[in-house]
Amino acid sequence: MTGPGPRAAGQGALESARIGVVTFPGTLDDRDAARAVRLAGGTAVPLWHADADLHQVDAVVLPGGFSYGDYLRAGAISRFAPVMGGVVDAARGGMPVLGICNGFQILAETHLLPGAMIKNDHRAFLCREQVLAVQNVDTAWTRDFAQGERITIPLKNQDGQFVADEHTLDELEAEGRVVFRYEGWNPNGSRRDIAGICNADGNVVGLMPHPEHAVEKGFGPDGPQGPRTGTDGLRFFTSVLSTLVRRSAA
């Protein structure tokens, strides 16, 4: 199944885009993330936490899970894994980086993104199909969405409450760096309903919900065409491929 995607941009160019997917001890969703990259038309490159070499990838996904058992704090130990040195340097140099759930927690611990995630305000693990409002379509990972669009992707976590001081929150809002907001119901007490944010350049995006679980009919959330037809997550991955193809054409 191909689905809608930026295939018109040239299949060869897309396939030559190499998206690294990092596996830490305790990562759960690396295979789903790699599959999402392939379904979008790109080439997924497995990266290992203990290998500092990024293997010439053009972008990196830090997938979800419980890296290092979430010991100490979610993402706290992963931040110091050998692979992260290269990821942080590349991100500062403009490489697109997406942190999903535990990956978002890792990006916060590295300070590539501000704030932190603490336990959900209701203190329970939660798994649901979550509606998000897209607030910024100028990032490397969201250009295939429409401003203000409502999308549905799965949310599953225990430490999903985004917190930051008021000054940081005001700054994020003023600079348009709130990329996704929870719509309808705030599932974890996150400040200002924030589900995802980006850095100042828009190449680094982190969010708690899981786009990689909504990329193929039959396996995702319910969609307008019926049960399990939702594929809103696929556009994160087609977005980054569009970003990379545009960059290489420029």
Partner 1 sequence: MGRVVVDVMPKPEILDPQGKAVASALPRLGFHGFTGMRQGKRFELEVEGPVTDEVLEQVRQAAATLLSNPVIEDVVRVAPAEDHDGATA
Residue numbers at the binding site for partner 1 (CB under 8 A): 72-73, 76, 80, 108-109, 114-116, 118-123, 161, 163-165, 189
d(CA 77, CA 202): 25
Min dist. Cβ of residue 94 to partner 1 (A): 25
Min dist. Cβ of residue 77 to partner 1 (A): 8
Q: Is the Cβ of residue 188 or residue 239 nearer to partner 1 in the bound state?
A: 188
Contact criterion met (CB below 8 Å) for 195 and 180: yes
**3-state SS, residue 169:** helix
d(CA 28, CA 102): 10
- Can you say how many angstroms the Cα of residue 181 is from the centroid of all Cα atoms in its chain? 14
Min dist. Cβ of residue 231 to partner 1 (A): 34
d(CA 129, CA 178): 20
Distances (CA, A) of 90 to 3, 7, 83, 218: 31, 27, 11, 36
Structure-derived torsion over alpha carbons of residues 147, 151, 157, 162, reported in degrees to the nearest 10: 20
Min dist. Cβ of residue 33 to partner 1 (A): 25
Q: Name residue 115's amino acid.
A: G
Min dist. Cβ of residue 119 to partner 1 (A): 4
Contact criterion met (CB below 8 Å) for 174 and 232: no
Contact criterion met (CB below 8 Å) for 239 and 145: yes
Active site residues: 101, 210, 212
250 half-sphere exposure, CB direction, 13 A CA radius:
6
d(CA 109, CA 100): 13
**3-state SS, residue 113:** coil
